């Protein structure tokens, strides 16, 4: 049995490859090709009580051969193995709304690469954001935003969790044990609050607050170094959720050190070794992280343009 998502929508009819009267019954990437198969699935699926659902959603859909059938909405449906050959595998449509220097967006790119998910990467023009971004992420209007089969997911850590859950067969990022998972989520949240937001103050802050942020960054990194301990990665022997959460900010270390006139390596040598190991050993990370010098040049150029004196 496969547990698959069910993104059935009334306006999907025009997308059918089999003519306007065929409604593509989508099961998270599968198209159910005939009403017979639909009923085979329905009858087998006693747990979700599908006939009750069939009766309770009264919109009507048109099927191949002039059949009519009541439309229903159901987040999940069990497809029995014997029905799978009759279901056509559809390609997932995955779009990432990106900006190359965003460490938040890099998290998503690393996760997608580790999962082997093909996706379209659309670079945003931040002063003039795309209609797709404004429509998919109306609340924050930020990158990264992922659009999976037309559905938007926002906020980088939530996106990485989503990717881990949807493409769970390959390269798990979060542990399945609830306590271990809570620990990984705790450290990822810590990284957001005590590293990423502090990095922002180092790069764009001023005066006393900027100096204080330098100190807070080192304090935060020292705590993370303690959590890393003697492990190769935060996940132990392999890259995990916490590694994916933290590693993208490390390509900004050079810029932060140069601005703040301090050395992260002197304070946190083990953490810097870990960051190098991530880049050396994981192609997903090496290919995603821009060169530190490129980020530094971009940053100084931006500063000059914002404050031309």
Residue 57 makes contact with a copy of itself by CB under 8 A: no
Give CA separation, 262 vs 172, 218, 270, in Å.
36, 10, 17
**Which of 94, 96, 118 is CA-nearest to residue 107?**
96
Question: Locate tokens 């979060």: which residue?
Answer: 174
Tell which one of 151, 231, 291, 294 touches a copy of itself (CB under 8 A): 151
Half-sphere exposure (CA, 13 Å, Cβ side) for 97?
Answer: 26
Tell which one of 85, 131, 178, 207 touches a copy of itself (CB under 8 A): 178
Residue 153 makes contact with a copy of itself by CB under 8 A: yes
Burial class (CB in 10 A: 0-12, 13-18, 19+), 287: exposed
Q: Between 278 and 297, how does the x/- string for binding to a copy of itself read (CB under 8 A)?
A: --------------------
| Contacting residues for 154 by C-beta, under 8 A, at least 6 apart | 136, 137, 139, 140, 142, 145, 146
Residue 53 makes contact with a copy of itself by CB under 8 A: no
CB 158 within 8 A of CB 150: no
Six-digit token string for 124: 């945003």
CB nearer to a copy of itself: pick between 87 and 224: 224
Tell which one of 73, 120, 123, 165 touches a copy of itself (CB under 8 A): 165
Q: Supply φ then ψ for residue 227, to 5 degrees.
A: -70, -35
Tell which one of 2, 129, 201, 223 touches a copy of itself (CB under 8 A): 223
Six-digit token string for 37: 């198969």
Tell which one of 123, 177, 219, 283 touches a copy of itself (CB under 8 A): 177
Q: Between 60 and 89, how does the x/- string for binding to a copy of itself read (CB under 8 A)?
A: ---------------xx-------------
Q: Given the rule CB under 8 A, which of 45-53, 78-86, 171-179, 282-290 is the region that contacts a copy of itself?
A: 171-179
Coil, strand or helix at 199: helix
CB of 165 to a copy of itself, least distance (A): 4
Six-digit token string for 48: 């979700």
Chain positions contacting a copy of itself, by CB under 8 A: 5, 75-76, 139, 148, 151, 153-155, 158-159, 161-162, 165-166, 175-182, 185-186, 189-190, 223
């Amino acid at each position: 049995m496969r547990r698959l998502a069910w993104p059935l929508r009334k306006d999907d009819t025009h997308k059918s490859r089999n003519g306007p009267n065929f409604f593509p019954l989508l099961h998270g990437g599968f198209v159910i090709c005939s009403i017979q198969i639909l009923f085979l699935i329905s009858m087998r699926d006693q747990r979700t009580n599908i006939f009750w659902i069939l009766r309770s959603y009264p919109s009507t859909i048109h099927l191949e051969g002039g059949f009519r059938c009541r439309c229903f909405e159901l987040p999940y449906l069990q497809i029995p193995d014997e029905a799978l050959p009759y279901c056509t595998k559809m390609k997932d449509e995955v779009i990432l709304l990106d900006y190359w220097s965003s460490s938040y967006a890099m998290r998503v790119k690393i996760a997608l690469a580790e999962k082997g998910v093909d996706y379209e990467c659309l670079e945003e023009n931040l002063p003039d954001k795309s209609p797709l971004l404004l429509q998919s992420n109306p609340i924050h209007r930020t990158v990264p935003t992922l659009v999976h089969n037309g559905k938007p997911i926002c906020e980088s850590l939530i996106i990485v969790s989503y990717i881990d859950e949807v493409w769970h067969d390959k390269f798990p990022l979060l542990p399945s044990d609830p306590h271990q998972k809570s620990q990984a989520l705790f450290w990822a949240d810590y990284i957001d609050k005590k590293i990423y937001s502090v990095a922002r103050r180092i790069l764009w802050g001023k005066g006393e607050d900027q100096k204080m942020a330098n100190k807070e960054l080192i304090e935060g990194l020292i705590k993370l170094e303690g959590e890393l301990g003697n492990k190769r990665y935060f996940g132990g022997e392999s890259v995990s959720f916490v590694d994916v959460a933290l590693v993208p900010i490390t390509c900004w270390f050079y810029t932060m050190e140069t601005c703040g006139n301090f050395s992260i390596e002197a304070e946190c040598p083990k953490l810097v070794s870990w960051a190098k190991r991530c880049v050396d050993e994981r192609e997903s990370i090496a290919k995603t992280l821009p060169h530190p010098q490129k980020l530094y040049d971009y940053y100084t150029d931006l500063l000059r343009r914002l404050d031309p004196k």
